[in-house]
Each structure stands twice: as C-alpha cells, then as structure tokens.
C-alpha cells in the first residue's frame, strides 16, 4: 500500500541527514548552493540559470520541504524523488534547482569517502581534460586580440560568435565577414567552433553552413533552435561540419529525439541546467550509444566547471570542456577563480586542465567571499537585441 507523507523519510536510520540547504546569488549571474549535513559536512553545487535566478531560488522552497532531514548519501533517491514527485517535470527552472542540489550531494559523498567524484563514477578514463574558451569582440581586430590572449592563457581551442542574427530571410551580405573572422583566428594556430546561438532560421543557417564548410571549424553550435528538430535533421544532411547542441535540453528525454534522428554530433548539456552530475552522466551514456561526443556547456562559475570536469574525467565519449575564464558580462569582467581558495586547480597547460584530485568536486570555496558577494548581488537580465526593423532577436 502506498503511504503519503508530507516529507518522505529515509527508509533506514543509517547515514547523516541534510540539515541545511542555502542558496547564494553572486556576481555576475551565478547561483551557488550550500548543503550541510547533521555531522558537519558541507557540499557545494551550482544552480545558475542566467537571467532567472529568483525563479530557481523559489524552486528551492519545495526542495527544502522535501529533503531536510533526508539521508544525504541517497543521491539517486533524492534525484528521482525531486523529479517524479514534482509532477510538472523538467524545464530549466526545476532542473537547474535539482542540478545544484545534486552536485552538492556528490560533493558531500566524495568528502565523506575521501575521494574525488570521478572515482565514485567508475574512475578516470583520462588524466587531463581538454578545454576551450570564448573569444568575443565587435570588430575583427578585437576578435583576433582576444584569441591571442587565449593562446597566452594556454588554450589551443576557442569558440566564437557566428553572427548577431538575421531574420528568416535576409540579404546574403548579412553573413559577410563570418568566414574571415574564423580564418583570422585559425591563422593564429587555434581550432575554433562557431556558436550560432539559435539566432538564425533555416534559410540563412543553410547558407552560413555552406560558407563555413571549406574552413573546417571544430563545430557549429545551435545552428538552429532545438524547437525545430526536423530542420536540424535537414541541415545535418547538407553539411559535413559537426553539429553541436544541448544547452537548452534539460534531460535524457529531451535529447532522445535528436539522437534517434542522428542529426547531432556533439552533445552539450549544461550540468547546472540538466539535472546535475547524475543526469548528465546518463545523457553521456545515451549519447555514446549513438556515437555522439560529450562537450558540456559551461559559461558559468567554478563549481559548475569542477562538476563538469568530474564527469569528463570518467566519461569515455567526452571530448572538450567549455571554460568561462575571463568572459565579460554587461561590460564587467568576472573572475572564475575569485570564489576559490585553490584557484590553481584550473590552470590551463597545452590546452588542458589536469585531473582534480581533492575529495568531492575538488573545489575549496571561500565561504566568506560567497556570503559577502551575495549581499552585493544585483539581478542580471538577458540583454535585448533587435533587428533593423525593430523585431526582437534571439539573445
């Protein structure tokens, strides 16, 4: 017989319990999660959902109701309970909240056992993680200068903006300059992917993919929005460039139609949006069965990056990790390392970051800095872009 209870209790009395769940909104646009157990262990996660921090913080009200006093080691039970008993499943807000909680519980379990999380996921299949970073700029010379800075930081691969967007059908001249910017960056010795960011529609995306193909970029990311799986399937049949997407897909059920259609080559789930370590690990295993690589999306903070690395170190089909070192938001630079006591763990050498070896996620969070920063945080909102005719365009 099914028993209904206000808050599910663990089935056994063993193990430490979740005593406290806190969230901290910190600059530039991140949401950190702190989970403390009744025996004094603390784990950190990241539930950042850019532009929607308040919504995710609100989702934590129900997670606290359900999981305070729950056994901290029962990570999968927590995940399944949060996902299935929410009834209204999936989506960016609920999955981002679950992501932060999941990461923090993995961090706690690793610390309890004295092992890095990748050891709990089966152990390392590699010793280093290949990384890439963003290069931006409004002018070609600014893009090249940003790319040179990445080389100086140790990167061998970058991602850059493909276009600011067009209408459903625009002048082909709107695409002029994209190939030249890519060629200029490649001339420095860097490999480069192009991020369409879902800004194009099919008539223009087909043209731009054709323009770029002779230059052999690493990938084209979100050439079309995931709302159009039939169009992505059509585009995949027209280009030999690897197609990457996944930052706006939040579960294994969301990625299933794209894998079945064999229309993507690189899966890019965001570990802070897609159910945390537990779900991204499952998504990676699904992708491997379809010969699709994993390259987690992560223009976020140090906790999310550490969680991505733990998955990457233990996942056979992992290929490349996004790293948000030195990105600018709203003209203000953020420092990926400013919330860490051990910033050297993310040092880039020859395009790679060495395996994280400390227990848990491997990051030592400066809690005083986090608490101070959360008191200064101002809500961040996505910028509004409009075309020449005034119609809103994809950010």
Give the catalytic positions in this structure. Answer: 197, 297
Q: Quick check: 46 and 28 in contact, CB under 8 A? A: no
Closest CA to 281 of 79, 114, 66, 92: 79
Q: What DSSP assignment string belongs to 254-287?
A: HHHHHHHTT--SEE--BTTTSSHHHHHHHHHHHH
Q: Quick check: 102 and 275 in contact, CB under 8 A? A: yes
Cα 97 to Cα 59: distance, rounded to the nearest angstrom: 6
Q: Quick check: 75 and 105 in contact, CB under 8 A? A: yes
Q: What are the residues whose beta carbons fall under 8 Å from the beta carbon of 214, sequence distance 6 or more? A: none
Tokens 């802070």 belong to residue: 272
Q: Quick check: 266 and 244 in contact, CB under 8 A? A: yes
Cα 284 to Cα 259: distance, rounded to the nearest angstrom: 11
Q: Hey, what are 158's tokens?
A: 């970058």
Q: Hey, what are 309's tokens?
A: 């690395």
Three-class SS of residue 353?
strand
Q: Quick check: 212 and 186 in contact, CB under 8 A? A: no
Strands 243-245 and 385-386: what pairing?
Answer: unpaired
Cα 345 to Cα 364: distance, rounded to the nearest angstrom: 10
Assign residue 2 a region: left if phi > 0, alpha if psi is -120 to 50, beta otherwise?
Answer: beta
Cα 54 to Cα 64: distance, rounded to the nearest angstrom: 16
φ/ψ of residue 256, rounded to 5: -55, -45
Closest CA to 304 of 345, 333, 336: 336
């Amino acid at each position: 017989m099914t028993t209904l209870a206000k808050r599910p209790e663990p089935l056994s009395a063993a193990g430490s319990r979740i005593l406290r769940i806190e969230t901290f909104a910190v600059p530039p646009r991140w949401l950190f999660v702190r989970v403390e157990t009744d025996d004094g262990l603390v784990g950190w996660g990241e539930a950042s959902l850019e532009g929607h921090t308040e919504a995710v913080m609100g989702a934590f009200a129900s997670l606290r109701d359900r999981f305070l006093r729950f056994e901290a080691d029962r990570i999968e039970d927590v995940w399944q309970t949060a996902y299935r008993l929410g009834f209204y499943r999936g989506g960016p807000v609920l999955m981002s909240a679950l992501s932060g909680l999941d990461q923090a519980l993995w961090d706690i379990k690793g610390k309890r056992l004295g092992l890095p999380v990748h050891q709990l996921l089966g152990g390392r299949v590699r010793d280093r993680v290949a990384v890439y970073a963003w290069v931006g700029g409004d002018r070609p010379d600014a893009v090249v200068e940003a790319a040179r800075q990445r080389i100086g930081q140790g990167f061998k691969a970058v991602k850059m903006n493909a276009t600011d967007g067009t209408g459903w059908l625009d002048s082909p001249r709107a695409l002029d300059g994209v190939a030249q910017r890519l060629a200029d960056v490649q001339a420095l010795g860097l490999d480069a992917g192009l991020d369409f960011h879902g800004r194009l529609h099919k008539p223009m995306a087909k043209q731009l993919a054709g323009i770029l193909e002779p230059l052999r970029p690493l990938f084209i990311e979100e050439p079309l929005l995931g709302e159009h799986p039939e169009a992505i399937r059509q585009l995949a049949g027209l280009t030999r460039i690897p197609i990457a997407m996944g930052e706006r897909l939040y579960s294994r059920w969301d990625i299933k139609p794209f894998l079945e259609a064999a229309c993507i080559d690189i899966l890019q789930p965001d570990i802070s949006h897609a159910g945390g370590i537990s779900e991204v690990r499952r998504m990676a295993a699904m992708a491997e069965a379809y010969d699709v690589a994993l390259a987690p999306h992560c223009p976020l903070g140090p906790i999310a990056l550490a969680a991505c690395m733990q998955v990457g170190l233990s996942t056979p089909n992992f290929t490349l990790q996004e790293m948000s070192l030195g990105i600018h938001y709203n003209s203000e630079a953020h420092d990926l390392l400013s919330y860490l006591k051990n910033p050297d763990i993310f040092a880039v050498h020859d395009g790679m970051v060495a395996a994280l070896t400390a227990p848990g996620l491997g990051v030592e969070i400066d809690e005083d800095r986090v608490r101070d920063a959360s008191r200064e945080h101002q809500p961040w909102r996505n910028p509004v872009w409009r075309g020449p005719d005034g119609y809103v365009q994809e950010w």
